[in-house]
Amino acid sequence: MAAADHANSTYDRMKELKEFDQSKIGVKGLADSGITSIPRFFVHSPDTLDLKKPTSQTCTKKTIPVIDLSLFNTPNKRHQLVEQIREATSTWGFFQVINHGIPISVLDETINAIKAFHNEPHEVKSKLYNRENERNGVMYTTNNDLYRAKAACWHDSLTVWMSPETRRAKEEDIPEPCRKEIVAWELHASKVAEALLELLSEGLGVEAERFKKLGFLDGKLLVGHCYPYCPEPDLTLGITSHTDSGLTVLLQNQVGGLQVKHDDEWVDVEPLPGALTVNIGDFIQIIFNDNYISVEHRVLAKASKEPRISIVAFFNVGYHNDSDYFGPLPELLSPNKPALYRKFTVPEFSESFYSKGLDSKSFIQKVRL
């Protein structure tokens, strides 16, 4: 069915959204039911869908950088690693890391645990389905921005807050099929994130502990996505194009779909066995005064029978009030390199995110001087 056929049909979109949401069946439930066409509220506008077409034949030939973290504890070679991270983050905003110290068995167990949760029967998962815990605890839902976005995307998500303590999920509230693995993954991902934040700081001559002192390990959110089979992948997206907030560490299975925008082209991020995918978000671009860049990325919907499974660890500053201001780091500024952004508060940043659907760099545009 063509996108126009979906779009031109007369229907009550909000009514259909609510009926789907209240069914608590999720996208996977739709896929498992054997549907041959997707509900109309999942259909994206033609201009968004046109973006799925490669802009040139070189699109698929590009690859994001792959960085070996084994040099982290090698004093006489650490500077090489710092430079690789700096180069990747200032030009791509995305890279993959290997030899990060996490055993392959742990990666596989974590992926399998998230997949096991999403494979639970509807009557089990539906008890956890809610939209009330978007900013704390545990939430299982389809599209956290379902009612805010212009079109829904083809994924279900298990969201677990790990910190700050006021938002942290109770361990017993984490679904049993992935409870042990999520608690363990927080520790593994945090260790990698701490190392990366040190390297990012050193890359610009900033104190290694700068991110930690700013509180960038105080806000931790783990999200386990499932992108099931889609009968009409050319009409929708797995996740729409967007940028993240702080530092993101992604673990994914071998089903592709993730794309990064580079030089106005969409580049496939091919899953690399044993690797983690890393990117920086808008908050970091701002405080590093455009020396590092956040980059648009998205996930394509696929007709693959094997679902794409990803576990995303988001690291950002923890809770702050309206009197705590953030902006470009003073040590990066000079008369020749003035601040490119005004100062802002974490509540202002958070409200910007939760007040609309996923988008790209809207907050950066809002605070740019």
> Residue 54's pLDDT is what?
52
> Residue 227's pLDDT is what?
98
The pTM score is 0.93
Residues of the chain with pLDDT under 70: 1-9, 50-60, 319-320, 356-357
* 121: preceding bond cis by omega (within 30 degrees): no
Contact 194, 212 (CB under 8 A): yes
> Residue 3's pLDDT is what?
45
> Residue 2's pLDDT is what?
44
> Residue 10's pLDDT is what?
74
d(CA 136, CA 133): 5
| Residue in this structure with the two tokens 């994130």, named with its chain if needed | 193
d(CA 171, CA 180): 9
Coil vs helix vs strand at 326: strand
Cross-sheet strand order for the sheet of 94-98: 66-68, 94-98, 276-280, 247-252, 308-316, 219-227, 156-163, 138-142
| Residue in this structure with the two tokens 């693995």, named with its chain if needed | 181
Q: Angle of helix 78-91 relative to helix 179-203, nearest 10 degrees?
A: 100
